[in-house]
Amino acid sequence: MSLLSVEGLRTHFISRDIDNRVRVAHALNDVSFSIDRGRILGIVGETGAGKSLTAQSVTGLLRPPARVVGGKAVFDGRELTAMSDDELNTVRGAEIAMVVQNPRTSLDPLTRVGDQLVRTHQVHSGGPVATSRQRALEMMEAVGIPDPRSRARAWPHELSGGMAQRILIAMALMNAPKLLIADEPTTGLDVTVQAQILDLLRDLVARLDMATLLITHDLGVVAHFCDEIAVMFAGAIVERGPVREVFRNPAHPYTAGLIAATPERLRSGERSVQFGGPPPDLYNLPKGCHYRPRCPFAGAACHAAPPELETTPGHRALCHFAGAFDRAQEPAE
């Protein structure tokens, strides 16, 4: 049984326009995936595909007008999507920890970093404050912060981006979580620091036997860091499977396009799949396959909603022609 399994999750932004007509942005449409202990799942996709929104929907961090309208997320046998905020607060930061993308601005600017670590531990695990302090120092040490004792007294604004991200990771580890959600953890950092942070994360995941959900738009990061990959497009996971398998044999034309567009592939002069186009209008998604308007292989069949097909065990794609899109169909014109 998976640690976290998400089934058919749908999240909409429901608002009213100036004429008081209801407008619905179909931000997440049927997102399903699961993740096991000790595994790292990378979610990739372009901006607006719903990567972060998936994490927020799962952890109950959506803010109005966004709302989960269907599906469920089951974590360790409990249904997160049915929990009250108070119940969720006992899970968030304790069993499910988050690392976010703006570490420097995300820490409470008015509290010393050590006290923030202690606060997280006190809120979730309780016990004597001295124990929490000790644990804070240990975790800071574990994430490679030199001289934790003096760093604990630092204010957030005194930290560099990389150091702040380490603090956030230490914060995530404070309550020994089962699942770590890292939402673009290296986006704002220098390339060398990015590598350090990713190495640190991989090391910790292996040592602590956590499941990890890594949200990124960097395929290179997924290739080097993750066990499994889920590719998102227009609020749906269009392809998922083991990283090696997906990179070798992309079953969905969008994944194929993404991989062909990485700098390494472009440089090697491989034939590039036609790619690109505007992001889909979430208020008015195309009928049938949502990727159809951008898909160079789209045919008449694509006007019907695509099934999720399994090409090899554990490797699935949301496409009528999964695994065979470039042979099944000649370009439309």
Partner 1 sequence: MRTFRFLLRRALMVIPLLVGVVFITFMLVRVGGLDPVGQLAGPTATEAEFAAIREELGLDQSLFRQFLIYAGNVLQGDFGESWLSNRPVLDDILGRAVISLELLFWGVGLGTLVGIPVGLRAAFRPNGRFDQVSRVLSLLGFSIPTYWLGLVTIFVFFYLLGWAPPAMGRISLLVSPPPTITGSYLIDGLLQANWEAARSAFAQMVLPVLCMAVIAAAPIIKQTRAIALDVLSSDPIRYARATGLPERVVRRMVLRNSGVPILTYVGTEITGLVGTMSLIEYVFAWGGLGQYGLNAISRGDFTAVQGYVLALALFSVIVFLVIDILVYLMEPRSDLT
Residues that bind partner 1 (CB under 8 A): 59, 61, 63, 85-86, 88-94, 97-98, 100, 102, 105-110, 119-120, 123-124, 155, 157, 171
Least distance in angstroms from the C-beta of 111 to partner 1: 8
Task: Say if CB 214 and CB 283 are below 8 A apart.
Answer: no
For residue 93, which amino acid is it?
G
* Residue 102 CB coordination number (10 Å): 15
Given the complex with partner 1, which of 123 and 301 has the nearer CB atom?
123
Q: 249: exposed, middle or buried (C-beta count within 10 Å: 0-12, 13-18, 19+)?
A: middle
Tokens for 206, please give them.
């292996």
Q: How far is the CB of 56 from partner 1 (least distance, A)?
A: 9
Q: Residues 199-214, buried b or exposed e (16+ Cβ, 10 A)?
A: ebbbebbeeeebbbbb
CB of 73 to partner 1, least distance (A): 15
- Between 213 and 318, name the residue whose CB sits nearer to partner 1: 213
Q: Of the two residues 168 and 322, which places its CB atom closer to partner 1 in the complex?
A: 168
In whole angstroms, how close is the CB of 102 to partner 1 at the nearest point? 5
Task: Name which of 305, 329, 330 is nearest 318 in CA terms.
Answer: 305
> Minimum distance from CB of 100 to partner 1 (Å)?
6
Cα distance from N-terminal residue to C-terminal residue, the chain: 47
* CB-nearer residue toward partner 1: 50 or 253: 50
Task: Using the minimum distance from each CB to partner 1, give the nearer residue, 91 or 251.
Answer: 91
Residue (17 or 86) nearer to partner 1, CB: 86
CB of 6 to partner 1, least distance (A): 18
Taking the least distance from each CB to partner 1, the nearer of 9 and 167 is: 167
**Six-digit token pair at 269?**
């002069």
Instruction: Yes or no: say if 316 and 323 are a contact pair by the CB < 8 Å rule.
Output: no
Q: Smallest distance, Å, CB 80 to partner 1?
A: 12
Secondary structure string (H, E, C) spanning 162-211: HHHHHHHHHHHHCCCCCEEEEECCCCCCCHHHHHHHHHHHHHHHHHHCCE
Question: What are the start-end ranges of the E strands in the chain?
Answer: 4-16, 22-35, 40-45, 66-75, 78-79, 96-99, 179-183, 211-215, 228-233, 236-242, 308-312, 315-318
